[in-house]
Structure 1
Amino acid sequence: MAATERLAWRRFGSVVAAALSLPGVLPSVARAETAPDKGSVSLKYLYYKDFQETKATYPNEPRPTGERFDRITVKAPSVQVMAPVGSDWTLEAGGTVDDVSGATPRYYSSVSGATQAPGGMKDRREAGDVKVTRHFHRGAVAVGVARSHENDYDSNAAALEGRVSSEDNNTTWHAGVGVARDKIGSSNDPSLAARRRTNEAMVGMTRVLSTNDVVQLNVAYRHGRGHFNDPYKSGDRRPDLRRQGTVLARWNHHVPSLGSTVRGSYRFYKDSFGVTGHTAEAVWVQPVADLWSLAPSLRYHSQGAARFYCDPSPDPTVFPACPGTPVYSTTDHRMSAFGAFTLGVKVAVQLHDWTGDLKYERYTQKSDWRLGGKGSPGVDTLHADIVQVGVSKAF
């Protein structure tokens, strides 16, 4: 399985973007920032399974009799520990193990192009990270390192982040830089030992607008150089330079009469491959009784195709390659134009120092759901079920 197929599950896929999240309601008076009063240990388990419809007909491929093709299954337990060290320092460490199995098409969503090995594909990823934070008056600086290893992909990353608040503590500016050095291999080609270097930076601001409203704006840029080809996709040839930019806006609104919180976000993405994406999400967090909370969520994503993505050709002399002799080409459906909805719900319970949660999401991706018009034709609808279970203990 290609390393790029696993990006959705990489805990360190973005070195700094996930490190700075929108807080709830910041205090309205200035105070010195100190390490948390308590530490915590969290255990989580993620289960992911995706499958596609089999309605599209490709050249030289018999029409499938079923309406479902099971693809990838991921099982990923993880642990995260956070501990204050004195009043000025915080130490965080985490680890995860991903067990992946199943099959993925080599081109588009063609079933006959799926993994051919007996019993399908199996892979395992082991990853860990450590982060140290130094707290100052109205600010903090953190440094972190991470490592991820699997059969065909090794990644080493490091990040430096900082934040500083205004005197009234209603505005916080934050920034971060990160580097990653990856080595890409292939189970199909033992001689492949390609490398990729990635540098990224992010700046942002969080602002308390009122007692009930907090907003945040982040701008990030990533510059990657090296091997971007997917060795498991047929005829996949991509540029060795990729520039990616994102703008992320978040808004938290508290509804006092209901005791609930609405969390909204919008993310704009654009890269040098020609992919432009829009992602909007809304989450409603509603307390239920004294211990429970319920949080339904809805997310919509739409993107345009990469410049070198080509649609399936009905000509059997061309399929599964792209017509002509292009310098760059891909039949990877993730580079196509499509739209996707994710509908989810999370249930959480808190009892003293214990917190537990259960979250379920259903993801559905269709070409026709692209914003502003039809997407890339000839690609079957993709579905995914995602279940996350977690428990944490403060100490």
Structure 2
Amino acid sequence: MASLILPGMAALVSRNAAAENAPEQSTIGLKYGSYKDSQPGFDRIKVSTPQMYAQVPIAGVWSIEGSASGDSVSGASSYWHTERSSASQMSDYRKAADLKVTRYFSRAAVSASVAYSTEHDYISRAIGLEGRWSSADNNRTWTIGYGLSRDRIDNTSNGTNTAIDQHKRTHEFMAGVTQVLTANDIAQLNLTRSIGAGYYDDPYKTLDQRPDQRNAWIALARLNHYVGQFDAALRGNYRYYTDTFGIRSHTVGIEWEQPFGRWSITPGARYYSQSAANFYLDPVLDATGQYDVGATLASGVGMTGPHSFDARLGAFGAATLSGKISCRVTPATVIDAKFEAYRQAAGLHAGTTGSPNLDPLRANFLQLGLTHRF
């Protein structure tokens, strides 16, 4: 669900539509998120996430902003395709924080950020730099950014593959342009290059060996349109992703924001489809077409080179329906609630039926928030 947030650049995502103007007020935000997914007859992961965000302007030309969150994760995950007997119970707590400093100029802004997250077997550190500047008429804004993340993996449990003091490093370069097209339309195009090297195996899965490099291209296009007849906003986006694992994905999203006085509602929909990784192994089926655990594992024993049975690397599609409602209870205070219903299945893959014998997955996400400016 965070596929649009890139390592090292998470803290650079603009929370202010007027990015080149220093904020005039301080902002504090509190949010709580709850996530749960399941497969037929199998409840999997539950996550609860409280989060706090704050932004403070300084001397009219600086701002400091940061966020902190804690994810409580529990549940079970399957080792191979749709097999249940090998599912492992897990419980973890992830802590994350980021800090960003921005210097504003007349038609430009420069930001620097740091981010850190930790859980029992994974530590991630990231830095980011971003510059943006506008044309003389303020109708066009260019953006460039750089992010670096360094991760450490320490699997000290009884996982199948031991990973002690393993490391991964990712460099990301982003360039983008935002253009005012008409009085009612604004468009944005971002292009990101990600270059990663290090440990990509999943130490909790059997027979999982992945390449030690993963490079990707990501193109993101957005279009916002003001619908004067309804005093509403129509927003659409498209994202294309391709990497050296062989995965190709397409994401299309649309939402409509409709205000009603102090209230506003925002229904939305998103569709996602990805191809399988080059080294993903399909399951072996028996004569009746059922999943054969022994034959599937035997097909991977002794195999050299990259290989994985991880269903997340298979070909599938997904659809998400969302709805958000917000209320401005005072001129400075807004409360909101957002719900997303997600469904993933091989049959939703664009053009073909996707990888065989993958159980569908359903997930629900609820977020409650409060934002106050002073």
Q: What TM-score does the superposition give when structure 1 sets the normalisation length?
A: 0.88
CA distance in 1, matches of 2:247, 2:3: 21
| Match of residue 115, structure 2, among 136, 146, 149 | 146
Deviation at 1:234, TM superposition (A): 1.5
* Secondary structure of residue in 2 paired with 1:334: helix
Deviation at 1:184, TM superposition (A): 0.7
Whether the 8 Å CA contact 1:246–1:268 is kept in 2: the answer is yes
| Match of residue 353, structure 1, among 324, 328, 332 | 332
CA distance in 2, matches of 1:240, 1:200: 17
| Match of residue 362, structure 1, among 341, 346, 350 | 341
Q: Deviations over 1:136-165 (max 9, x none)?
A: 110000000011111000011000001000
Task: Return 10-19 or 202-211, whichever deviates more.
Answer: 10-19
* Secondary structure of residue in 2 paired with 1:103: strand
Whether the 8 Å CA contact 2:127–2:147 is kept in 1: the answer is yes
Query: What pairs with 1:1-395 in structure 2 (closer than 5 Å)?
Result: 8=1, 13-16=6-9, 19-21=12-14, 33-53=20-40, 68-115=41-88, 120-186=89-155, 187-188=157-158, 192-288=164-260, 290-314=261-285, 316-320=293-297, 322-323=299-300, 325-350=303-328, 351-395=330-374
CA distance in 2, matches of 1:394, 1:321: 60
Task: Return 312-321 or 222-231, whichever deviates more.
Answer: 312-321
Cα distance, 1:193–1:140 mapped onto 2, change above 3 Å: same
Deviation at 1:191, TM superposition (A): 6.0
Whether the 8 Å CA contact 2:11–2:98 is kept in 1: the answer is no
CA distance in 2, matches of 1:94, 1:102: 26
Q: Deviations over 1:168-220 (max 9, x none)?
A: 00000001001011001212257622000111010000000011100000000
CA distance in 2, matches of 1:191, 1:365: 30
Deviation at 1:107, TM superposition (A): 1.3
Structure 2 unpaired stretches of 5+: 286-291
Matching residue of 1:63: none
Matching residue of 1:62: none
* Secondary structure of residue in 2 paired with 1:318: helix
Q: Deviations over 1:323-342 (max 9, x none)?
A: 46141111111100001000
Deviation at 1:256, TM superposition (A): 0.8
Structure 1 unpaired stretches of 5+: 1-7, 27-31, 54-67
Matching residue of 1:57: none
Deviation at 1:113, TM superposition (A): 1.8
CA distance in 1, matches of 2:230, 2:359: 42
Task: Return 310-319 or 340-349, whichever deviates more.
Answer: 310-319
Deviation at 1:10, TM superposition (A): 9.7
Q: Deviations over 1:60-86 (max 9, x none)?
A: xxxxxxxx2000000010100001001
* Secondary structure of residue in 2 paired with 1:137: coil
* Secondary structure of residue in 2 paired with 1:112: coil
Cα distance, 1:191–1:382 mapped onto 2, change above 3 Å: closer
CA distance in 2, matches of 1:322, 1:208: 55
Cα distance, 1:127–1:133 mapped onto 2, change above 3 Å: same
The letter of the residue matching 1:352 is P
Cα distance, 1:321–1:208 mapped onto 2, change above 3 Å: farther
Cα distance, 1:353–1:85 mapped onto 2, change above 3 Å: same
More strand by share: 2
Whether the 8 Å CA contact 2:163–2:203 is kept in 1: the answer is no
Matching residue of 1:29: none
Whether the 8 Å CA contact 1:12–1:146 is kept in 2: the answer is no
